[in-house]
A and B are shown apart, each in its own frame.
Chain A
Amino acid sequence: MALRREEEKLGAFTLLRHLRRIMAYVRGRRALLAACILLSLIQAGIELSLPLLVRRGIDRDIMPPYARVEMGAAREAAGLQPGLSAKLIEAGDGRHAFVLVSSLTESEREELRARHLLGQPGWYRNGEAVSGAPRFISDAEFQKLSPDARASLRAGARHGVISLAILYVALLIADFLFSFGVTMGLNHLGQRAVQIMRDELWRRLHELPVRYFDENPVGRLVTRVTNDTATLSDLFASVLATALSDVALFFGILGILLSLDTGLSLRLFLLAPPLIILSLWFKSASQKIYRVIRVQVAKVNTFLQEAVTGIVVVKAFTREADFSGRFGALNKEFYRTQMRLIYIFAIFRPVIDAFAVSGIALVIWYGGGQAIKNAVSVGTLVAFLLYLRMLFMPLQDLAEKFNILQSSIVASERLFKILDTPQEPSGKETSEAKAGEIVFDDVSFAYEEGNPVLDSVSFTVPPGKTVAIVGPTGSGKTTIASLLLGFYELPEGRGSIKVDGLDVRRWEIEALRRRFALVPQELFLFSGTLGHNVSLFAKPDEKVMERALKVSRLGRVAARLPLGLNHELNERGTVISQGERQLVSFARALCHSGQMLILDEATASVDSRTEQLIQEALGDLLKGRTALIIAHRLSTVQEADLILVLKKGRIAEKGTHQELLAAGGLYSHLYRTQFSNGGAA
Chain B
Amino acid sequence: MHRGVRDILKLFFGYPWRVALGVACLLIVDGAQLAIPLVVKGVIDGVASLSVTREWIAERALIILGLSLTIASFRFAWRHFFFSASRLAEISLRQKVFDHAMTLSARDFTTTRTGEVMALAMNDVETIRQALAMGFVAGFDSTAYAVVALCAMFWLDPVLTGIVILPLPLLALVMGVSLKAVYERWDAVQASFERMTEKARESLAGMRILKAYVQREGDSADFAGYNEDYFKRFMHYTKVDALFHPLIMLIAGSCVAILLGAGGARVISGRTSVGAFVALTSYLGMLTWPMIAAGWMLTLVQRAAASMDRINAFLDRKPQAEEEGGAAIRLSSHSIEARGLTFAYPGSEKPSLKDVSVLVPEGGSLGVVGEIGSGKSTLVQLLTRLYDPPPGSILIGGTDVTSISLKALREMISVVPQEAFLFSDTIEQNLLLGDPAATRERIKAACALAAIDEEIEAFPGGYGTLLGERGITLSGGQKQRLCLARALLKEAPVLLLDDTLSAVDAGAERKILSGLALARRNRTTIVVSHRVSAVRELDQILVLKRGAVIQHGTHAALMASPGYYREMAELQEIEQ
Contact = CB atoms under 8 A, between A and B. Distances in A.
Interface in A636-679: 666, 669-670, 672-673, 676-677
Contacts of B49: 120, 122, 139
Contact of B260 (A168, A335, A513, A673): A168
A139 B36 CA distance: 27
Contacts of B162: none
B373 A605 contact: yes
Contacts of B269: 147, 150-151, 154, 158
A84 B238 CA distance: 57
A222 B208 contact: no
Interface stretch (A10-18, A299-307, A494-502, A551-559): A299-307
Nearest to B121: A304
Given A361-B61, A372-B52, A206 B216 contact: yes
A251 interface: no
Contacts of B71: 350, 353-354, 357
Interface string B36-52: 10011001101111101
A302 B423 CA distance: 9
A339 B87 contact: yes
Contacts of A317: 410, 433-434, 486, 490
A513 B208 contact: no
Contact of A172 (B99, B102, B253): B253
Interface stretch (B136-144, B174-182, B273-281, B532-540): B273-281
Contacts of B517: none
Given A310-B421, A345-B79, A318 B407 contact: yes
B261 A162 contact: yes
Interface stretch (A105-113, A381-389, A402-410): A381-389
A202 interface: yes
B278 A350 contact: no
- A147, A191, A389, A516, most chain B CB atoms within 10 A: A191
Contact of B285 (A306, A314, A389): A389
B193 A305 contact: no
Interface stretch (B244-252, B294-302, B329-337, B442-450): B244-252
Nearest to B228: A195
A119 interface: yes
Interface in A113-129: 119-120, 122
B79 A302 contact: no
B268 A61 contact: yes
A621 interface: no
Interface of B, secondary structure class, is helix
A347 B76 contact: yes
B interface residue count range (under 10 / 10 to 19 / 20 to 34 / 35 or more)? 35 or more
A328 B96 CA distance: 10
Nearest to B252: A172
B68 A361 contact: yes
A165 interface: yes
Interface string A378-418: 10011001100100000000000000000000000000000
- A202, A327, A371, most chain B CB atoms within 10 A: A202
Given A168-B260, A210-B211, A358-B68, A365 B196 contact: no
B423 A306 contact: yes
A156 to B, nearest CB: 9
B257 interface: yes
A382 B421 CA distance: 70
B209 interface: yes
A482 to B, nearest CB: 8
A677 B564 contact: yes
Interface string A347-375: 10111011001101110110011011000
Given A57-B264, A195-B228, A349-B75, A669 B571 contact: yes
A313 interface: yes
A308 B118 contact: yes
B239 A184 contact: yes
Interface stretch (A72-80, A175-183, A441-449): A175-183
Given A176-B246, A360-B64, A368-B61, A222 B40 contact: no
A30 interface: no
B205 A487 contact: no
A318 B64 contact: no
Interface stretch (B217-225, B353-361, B451-459): B217-225
A154 B60 contact: no
B210 interface: yes
B83 interface: yes
B245 to A, nearest CB: 8
Contact of B211 (A154, A203, A354, A513): A513
Interface stretch (A96-104, A279-287, A429-437, A520-528): A520-528
A49 interface: no
- B118, B253, B469, most chain A CB atoms within 10 A: B253
Interface string B53-69: 11001101110110111
Nearest to B483: A313
A372 B57 contact: yes
A327 B95 contact: yes
Contacts of B504: none
Contacts of A297: 122
B50 A372 contact: yes
Contact of B44 (A210, A314, A378): A378
Contacts of B98: 304, 307, 324, 327, 331
B436 A150 contact: no
Contacts of B570: 669, 673
Contact of B40 (A54, A158, A364): A364
A673 B564 CA distance: 9
B27 interface: no
Contacts of B256: 50, 54, 168
B275 to A, nearest CB: 9
B472 interface: no
Given A316-B414, A365-B58, A365-B61, A472 B121 contact: no
A538 to B, nearest CB: 7
A322 B257 contact: no
A320 interface: yes
A165 B274 contact: no
A361 B65 contact: yes
A226 interface: yes
B109 interface: yes
Contact of B117 (A183, A304, A527): A304
A487 B212 CA distance: 9
A676 B567 contact: yes
Given A120-B50, A206-B220, A353-B71, A226 B197 contact: yes
A472 B575 contact: yes
A317 to B, nearest CB: 5
Interface in A150-190: 150-151, 154, 157-158, 161-162, 164-166, 168-169, 172-173, 175-176, 179-180, 183-184, 187-188
Contacts of A324: 95, 98-99, 102
B5 to A, nearest CB: 24
Given A162-B261, A320-B102, A513-B213, A175 B207 contact: no
A199 B571 CA distance: 52
B411 to A, nearest CB: 6
Given A202-B200, A207-B216, A213-B207, 15 more contacts: A54-B260, A62-B264, A120-B47, A158-B265, A165-B264, A172-B253, A183-B246, A210-B211, A332-B91, A378-B274, A382-B281, A385-B40, A536-B215, A537-B222, A672-B567
19 contacts: A58-B277, A62-B268, A143-B270, A175-B246, A176-B249, A191-B231, A191-B238, A222-B197, A222-B201, A312-B421, A315-B410, A317-B433, A335-B88, A368-B61, A378-B44, A386-B281, A510-B216, A537-B219, A605-B371
